[in-house]
Amino acid sequence: MAIGPALALSGLLANPLDLGRLLDPGRSRPPMPFHEATLDNGLRVVILPDHDTPLVALHLQLNVGGADDPDDRPGVAHLFEHLMFGGSAHAPAGAFDRLLAAAGGDNNAWTDLDHTAYHLVVPRGALDLALFLESDRLGFLAGGLTTDELENQRKVVAGEYGIADDEPHGMDAEALAFAFYPEGHPYRRGVLGQMGRLAAASREELLAFHAAWYRPDNLTLALVGDVDPEAALARVAHWFGDIPRPTAPMPARRSAPAVRIEGEQRRVYVDEIDDASLVIAWPTVPAGHPDEAPLDLLSSLLSSGPGSRLDDALYYDQRRVDSLSAWTENSRLGGRFHIELSQQEGPLGPSLRHLDAALDAVRRSPPTAAEVRRIQVRWAGGFLRQGTGLEERAELINRCLWLRGDPDCQGWHEARYAALTAQDIARVLDTYLHPKNRLLLSVVSPEERDFALAGSTAVEVW
């Protein structure tokens, strides 16, 4: 699903229908007061002042994710998300969280296929502390990464993997990736990785990964909050400026051809669950592609509660399934469109036939202008909600830098949703959601293996 940009609430009337003003592609919008700089070592910094609250959000994004893991060490990028909290040369193990908590700050991190990100929110008086801690683990991690701490963080990651493995449907995403992507595709391995191979990674291997990817010229830093831009930039330069740009060139990011599914592929994943589910996945487009937005709106047309086509046909009008959802994923190397349904009992074959009949009905009766307008207003409201917090805006700045090289892609992002028509949505339905270029993944329990679609072959994760 695409992420909306930062939007200001000022000037909107109380009537929610005034959200429709966001749907005018030509509407004027005041420029955001961004302040940008690139340090000599390549670190790009974007600062957006907001003096409404005495807080500052920092969002650091590295262009490295699960897809960049070494072939023999899947899961290293995610492990590093944890190792970065395990101590550095001037902030030993435990100091990062302890010092931030004492200052009234909060922090977290995430890893996906393409990126690793670290985000903090601190009182404005703790900005120096936050910058010190982040710069130390970027430039001086090796001095604090002990063997004991490495083992501790490996156990944390193993625990996360174990929770996913034990939780009902916790490994569905991994099974879908293994079924959808061909052997050798960097997205096939997911983000969690394989614990046996990860456990064999030495401290030296891990530090080599850090040196290759955790470098200032592979990092963007967004600051949003109660700061003076010039003073904040000076503090960033003070803490990060002495981290040298490596002389070695940036590693080449992995590439892969577009995924093509020839014919209908039927797979089954067997897990200890108390229901049965079916995930239908079609290959689509990478993030930023012109068809990303109409595919997003198509997902809402099909499944977004009462009044959406598949929800009404399969759930509200006749209880054909127990739950249903549609969503999109768009990443650097491609995208997927998904429809998932679940049911407590009975084979999945009849549910697929009902679903296909409902999709055929959408093709015969394309979306109306009124339906599209309702969906667009819904998305516009979502953009507003996503763009009000300091942390959310800092993250959106980094996403814009990645997608467009510009921290202010707000207007571009709004316009591509506002300009869509019913014909655009009907076109992407016909272009991408063919019955004969899709993956059908049944997820069933061992006792109900025969509930899977006929002709399904087993998926083994790792």
Judge whether 390 and 225 are in contact, CB under 8 Å.
yes
CA pair distance 379, 180, nearest whole angstrom: 28
Residue 46 contacts residue 92 (beta carbons within 8 Å):
no
Q: What is the C-alpha separation between 108 and 130, in angstroms, rounded?
A: 13
Domain 31-240 has CATH 2.60.120.10: no
User: How many angstroms separate the CA atoms of 345 and 363, rounded?
Assistant: 29
Predicted pLDDT of residue 153: 87
The per-residue pLDDT of the chain, averaged, comes to 91
Domain 265-458 grouped into CATH 3.30.830.10 = yes
pLDDT > 90 in the chain, percent: 78
Neighbours of 457 (CB within 10 A): 10
- pLDDT tens-digit map of 376-409: 999 988 877 777 799 999 999 999 999 999 998 8
Tokens linked to 167: 């939780």
User: Terminal CA-to-CA distance of the chain, rounded, Å?
Assistant: 27
For 259-296, b/e burial (b = at least 16 CB within 10 A) is: bebeeebbbbbbbebebbbbbbbbbbbebbeebbbbbb
Which of 175-189, 195-209, 360-374 is the least confident region? 195-209
CA 296 to chain centre: 14
**Least confident interval from 44-48, 65-69, 157-161, 338-342:** 157-161
Alpha carbon 330 to its chain's center:
8
Q: Answer whether 432's CB lies under 8 Å from 282's CB.
A: yes
Q: What is the pLDDT of residues 47-79, one digit of tens each?
A: 999 999 999 999 999 999 999 999 899 999 999
* pLDDT above 60: residue 284: yes
pLDDT over 60 at 417, yes or no: yes
Q: Give the pLDDT band (50/70/90) at residue 21.
A: low
pLDDT attached to residue 22: 55
Provide the pLDDT confidence category of residue 375 given band limits of 50, 70 and 90: very high
> Mean pLDDT, to the nearest integer, of 415-427?
95
pLDDT at 170 over 50: yes
pLDDT in tens, 219-266: 999 999 999 999 999 999 999 999 999 999 999 999 999 999 999 999
Residue 436 DSSP code: T
Closest CA to 362 of 436, 326, 309, 290: 309
pLDDT of residue 6: 33
Stretch(es) of the chain classified as CATH 3.30.830.10: 31-240, 265-458
Q: What is the DSSP string of 330-348?
A: EETTEEEEEEEEEESSS-S
Q: pTM of the entire structure?
A: 0.91
In the 8-state DSSP scheme, what is residue 31?
Answer: P
**Confidence category of residue 14, pLDDT binned at 50, 70, 90:** very low
What phi and psi, each to the nearest 5 degrees, are found at residue 439? -100, 135
How distant, in Å, are the alpha carbons of 31, 344, 347, 419 from that of 446?
Answer: 57, 14, 13, 48
Q: What is the pLDDT of residue 30?
A: 67
Secondary structure of 270-332 as H, E, C letters: ECCCCCEEEEEEEECCCCCCCCHHHHHHHHHHHCCCCCCHHHHHHHHCCCCCCEEEEEEEEEC
Cβ(242)–Cβ(417) below 8 Å: no
**CA of 87: how far to CAs of 97, 133, 214, 252, 305, in Å?**
10, 10, 15, 28, 46
d(CA 223, CA 53): 14
Q: Which amino acid is at 359?
A: L
Count of helix runs (H) and strand runs (E) in the chain:
15, 12
